[in-house]
A and B are shown apart, each in its own frame.
Chain A
């Protein structure tokens, strides 16, 4: 018998918004220590899947289990990076405030944030090369710096599973390289990561497993198994223009 369930197990998950189905019959089993890329066209339900795993959206059918537990219980073991658009960048907080928020989950209702938490936050900022910006308001950062801050916050959370919604959106090439190497390190230390991604060409190098999603699960498996013309065509369907553009990119890259 296994000591605990899989980090993430999704069974026959169906989610709809105002009677329009967004996800339909999705089954998924993510093994510990996986680095999974989630690919699919706009409106394929990628963010919805993340939100449903995090118990922000109630599914119409099926279930999610986190380490074998119901999501209400398991959610505390999940860290996440929000989609860039969902963050209010004018909010009056500094970089270190945001990273410290990652420590809140380690405290009860009335216990105070201590020096230990501050040290941890600085350490995580150092890891993403953002320590020099600790006292800056988050609104004053570039797109790449903003995403690094949220990655530092995720590191400070010290969770076992991470869900990231387009962490590479609007990020410069250097930041993207730094971030992916950090994700790799996290994976090495046994973390499980699921990352929503939008760029087919880089997905192939960045991830070990891919989930192709378009309302239904098209395919899930290791990159060589899943990253085939046929399956990608099935995922991106009618969006041929996008696909051929991607195909050329992939061809050029290889």
Chain B
């Protein structure tokens, strides 16, 4: 039995780029991957430094019922209603978590677990109720299929075909996230690091927090069809955690998420081509490999300590 296909560099690295059709198809997949990684990496860095990594998990699951209800209400898979539904559900999710925390003896982690599983269960049930007349299937929401990005309908603007709809939406959201974070970096930084100081200089701390949750919900729902609710958390958490092994300032970490996004996308794409598996999963595996490498190679790594220990003449 042959579990792992033979590694043939020509097939893995050159074949996907050998004909114009393949190049056109695969470059759309790659672009989608980059946009997902960049948007999630940026917003994820803030989520991680605020020690809210699990909030990403919670929001990504919590938006599901919003997406389905928007679909049912508008009867179409149009992006607008879906994004709106997702944002509303995401905000409802983060409000409920906060409310539970403040008005009941339940602790933060438990209230997150309660809220997001309830939301997610509601979403899954709604999907199942609708299976008869709807082409939205649970697998797609759970795992995503970035490889099918080029199948999204094209947008026509003033009679001209301007390209793939999914790519435009993701691109726009990525641009919004990156520019808002650059513009309001200072405000987001100070609210994340020291909410009391932020409050004392007159910043609307609560609103900024909700605004971050909104950006998180936006990036998550846009990434949903490519990487799915589960792996989107990997795209949120891995870039900044990996970068933080080498950089101790937030701006450097934020910048570092861009090359990491490129590494995840290309690495994942070719890994998936080799193993013939889901590209999203392969991207997450690449992210894991990068993380382990960073863990081993970072300046304070345990590996160096072992090496130094062996070299030391006193032992």
Contacts of B186 in A (CB 8 A): 104, 107, 113
Tell me the complex Cα distance, A87–B197, Å: 11
Tell me the complex Cα distance, A137–B247, Å: 10
Contact between chains at B199 and A75 (CB < 8 Å): yes
Most buried by A among B192, B197, B247, B253: B197
Contact between chains at B193 and A82 (CB < 8 Å): no
Contact between chains at A87 and B248 (CB < 8 Å): no
Nearest chain B residue, comparing its CB with the CB of A96: B249
Report if A101-B196 is in contact (Cβ < 8 Å); known contacts: A92-B247, A94-B248, A94-B249: no
From 208 to 263 in chain B, residues with beta carbon under 8 angstroms from any chain A beta carbon are 244, 247-250, 253
Residues of B within 8 A of A (CB): 49, 51, 183-184, 186-187, 189-190, 192-194, 196-197, 199-202, 244, 247-250, 253
Tell me the complex Cα distance, A139–B253, Å: 16
- Identify 8 new A-B residue pairs, CB closer than 8 A, beyond the known A92-B248, A92-B253, A97-B250: A80-B196, A80-B200, A92-B49, A101-B197, A104-B190, A105-B202, A113-B186, A137-B248
Contact with B along A79-118 (1 / 0, CB 8 A): 1101000111001111001100110110101100100000
Tell yes or no: A13 within 8 A of B by CB: no
Contact of B249 among A79, A86, A92, A109 (CB under 8 A): A92
Closest 9 A/B residue pairs (Cβ): A105-B201, A137-B248, A92-B250, A101-B190, A75-B200, A91-B193, A76-B202, A92-B248, A104-B190
Contact between chains at B184 and A97 (CB < 8 Å): no
CB distance from B111 to the nearest CB of A (A): 16
Nearest chain B residue, comparing its CB with the CB of A140: B248
Contact with B along A51-88 (1 / 0, CB 8 A): 10011100000000000000000011011101000111
Contact of A93 among B183, B197, B202, B250 (CB under 8 A): B250
Tell me the complex Cα distance, A55–B200, Å: 8
CB distance from A163 to the nearest CB of B (A): 9
Contact between chains at B244 and A92 (CB < 8 Å): yes
Q: How large is the interface on A (under 10, 10 to 19, 20 to 34, 35 or more residues)?
A: 20 to 34
Contact of A87 among B190, B192, B194, B244 (CB under 8 A): B194
Contacts of B183 in A (CB 8 A): 110
Tell me the complex Cα distance, A137–B299, Å: 14
Contacts of A104 in B (CB 8 A): 186-187, 190, 197, 201
Most buried by B among A78, A91, A92: A92
Contact of A79 among B190, B200, B250, B253 (CB under 8 A): B200
Tell me the complex Cα distance, A233–B199, Å: 36
Tell me the complex Cα distance, A11–B171, Å: 55
Most buried by A among B189, B196, B202: B196
Tell me the complex Cα distance, A105–B190, Å: 10
Contacts of B196 in A (CB 8 A): 51, 54, 56, 80, 82, 86
Contacts of A107 in B (CB 8 A): 186
> 30 A-B pairs, CB-CB below 8 angstroms?
A51-B196, A54-B196, A54-B199, A54-B200, A56-B196, A75-B200, A76-B200, A78-B200, A79-B200, A80-B200, A82-B194, A88-B193, A91-B49, A92-B49, A92-B244, A92-B247, A92-B248, A92-B249, A92-B250, A93-B189, A93-B193, A94-B249, A101-B197, A104-B187, A105-B200, A105-B202, A109-B187, A113-B186, A137-B248, A137-B249
Contacts of A54 in B (CB 8 A): 196, 199-200
Contacts of B51 in A (CB 8 A): 88
Tell me the complex Cα distance, A86–B199, Å: 15
Report if A109-B197 is in contact (Cβ < 8 Å); known contacts: A92-B247, A104-B190: no
Contacts of B201 in A (CB 8 A): 76, 104-105
Tell me the complex Cα distance, A80–B187, Å: 18
Contacts of A105 in B (CB 8 A): 200-202
Contact between chains at A56 and B244 (CB < 8 Å): no
Contacts of B249 in A (CB 8 A): 92-94, 97, 137
Contacts of B199 in A (CB 8 A): 54-56, 75
CB distance from B102 to the nearest CB of A (A): 10
CB distance from B196 to the nearest CB of A (A): 6
Tell me the complex Cα distance, A66–B294, Å: 50
Contacts of A109 in B (CB 8 A): 184, 187
Nearest chain A residue, comparing its CB with the CB of B184: A109
CB distance from B256 to the nearest CB of A (A): 11
CB distance from A17 to the nearest CB of B (A): 11
Contacts of A51 in B (CB 8 A): 196
Tell me the complex Cα distance, A105–B198, Å: 8
Tell me the complex Cα distance, A55–B196, Å: 10
Contact of B197 among A80, A88, A91, A139 (CB under 8 A): A80
Most buried by B among A55, A78, A104: A104
